[in-house]
Amino acid sequence: MIYAAAMSKPLKTGGEVDSFCTKCKLVLNHRIIAMVASTPVRVECSTCGSHHNYRPRAPGERAPAAGTRASGSSSSSSAGPRSTRASMTKAAQAAADREKQWEKAIAGKAVSEFRAYRVDQMFAEGDLIRHKKFGDGVVTRILDPKKVEILFKDEPRTLAQGLTD
Ligand SMILES: [Zn+2]
């Protein structure tokens, strides 16, 4: 087995995946530029726009424990193939819930309440964001001092914050 297709979304060229960015030096949301079989090989960073090879995790970071064959996506809850049907339904339900959450956060807000997303900014949970590529979003989680999870209309993405160079 190479990478088990246990993730909720099949990976495809033009799709999105979490990868280590060699420029941001963080595991962040990337767009897949090229794939070999079911494995991404080239990706574009959604934060800085740089193109580089796909790396599922930061250098030096350990691979997931044996038995976890998911390719390192932090958002994957790695349901096994036998629960595919149940997890599809759950995934659809989660997507619907997320969209509701997004709508609730965005609804009725003035344009002036949104901040333009920039990698050198620091964010807080609940901040309203305007991203030039992904549109309106709301900060749902501060993952660490350098990373935030922002919920956009289509899906949540891990983006950088507080980058100084
Ligand atoms: Zn980057």
Q: What is the pLDDT of residue 114?
A: 96
Identify the pLDDT of residue 6: 46
What H or E segment, with its residue span, contains residue 101? helix 84-106
Q: Ligand 1: distance of its center to the CA of 164 in Å?
A: 13
Query: Counting runs of H as helices and runs of E as strands, what totals does the chain give?
Result: 1, 9
Whole-number Å distance, alpha carbon 54 to ligand 1 midpoint, is 12
Confidence tier at 164 by pLDDT (50, 70, 90): confident
Taking the centre of ligand 1 as the mean of its atom positions, its distance from the CA of residue 61, in whole angstroms, is 18
CA–centroid distance, residue 48 to ligand 1 (Å): 4
What's the 89 CA to ligand 1 centre distance in angstroms? Answer: 33
Average pLDDT over residues 37-42: 93
CB neighbours of residue 117 within 10 Å: 22
Run of H or E including 114: strand 114-116
